[in-house]
Amino acid sequence: MAEKDFKFGAAERLRTALNNSITLAKDPLEIIMELAEILGEISGEKKYASTVRKQIKDVYGLALNNKFALDKEIEDVSARLEKIKAAYENPDFDDDEHQRIGFALERHKAELERLNAMKDA
């Protein structure tokens, strides 16, 4: 009986998320990512949503130049860049660590430029 309740609860959660997303007129790729997150939680596969997100970025964003997928990737890279900037300014790191953080900072800036250029193309 508990398994039946779990299945119903999981299905209801997916139905509700899908209906709410459609009502809010969310982008279809955003809906897919939201459902993937729920499926990952329900199934206990913690990396499922990140795998789907990467596939969407690669196929829809990089290969098909979908603006939504590129926006999500730009958002993620920008968030990481801000954290890296803060780490770069932190005096607690030694010279070697500071150099590696600086390299990551430059790579993230370059990736952000690349993604923005793809989006504007």
pLDDT at 64: 86
Asked if the model's pLDDT at residue 1 lies above 60, the reply is no
Distance CA 37, CA 77 (A): 19
Each residue's pLDDT tens digit, 78-121: 999 999 999 999 999 999 999 999 999 999 999 999 999 988 87
Distance CA 47, CA 52 (A): 9
Distance CA 12, CA 17 (A): 8
- Residue ranges of the domains in the chain? 1-64, 67-121
Length of the chain: 121
Q: Say how many C-beta atoms besides its own lie within 10 A of residue 111's C-beta.
A: 16
Asked if the model's pLDDT at residue 57 lies above 90, the reply is no
pLDDT at 73: 87
Q: Quick one: tokens of 27?
A: 């982008």
The reported pTM is: 0.67
Highest mean pLDDT among 5-14, 70-79, 80-89: 80-89
pLDDT tier at 8 (50, 70, 90 boundaries)? Answer: low
pLDDT at 89: 94
Q: Quick one: tokens of 24?
A: 């809010």
What is the per-residue DSSP string for 23-45? Answer: HTT--HHHHHHHHHHHHHHHHT-
Average pLDDT over residues 61-65: 85
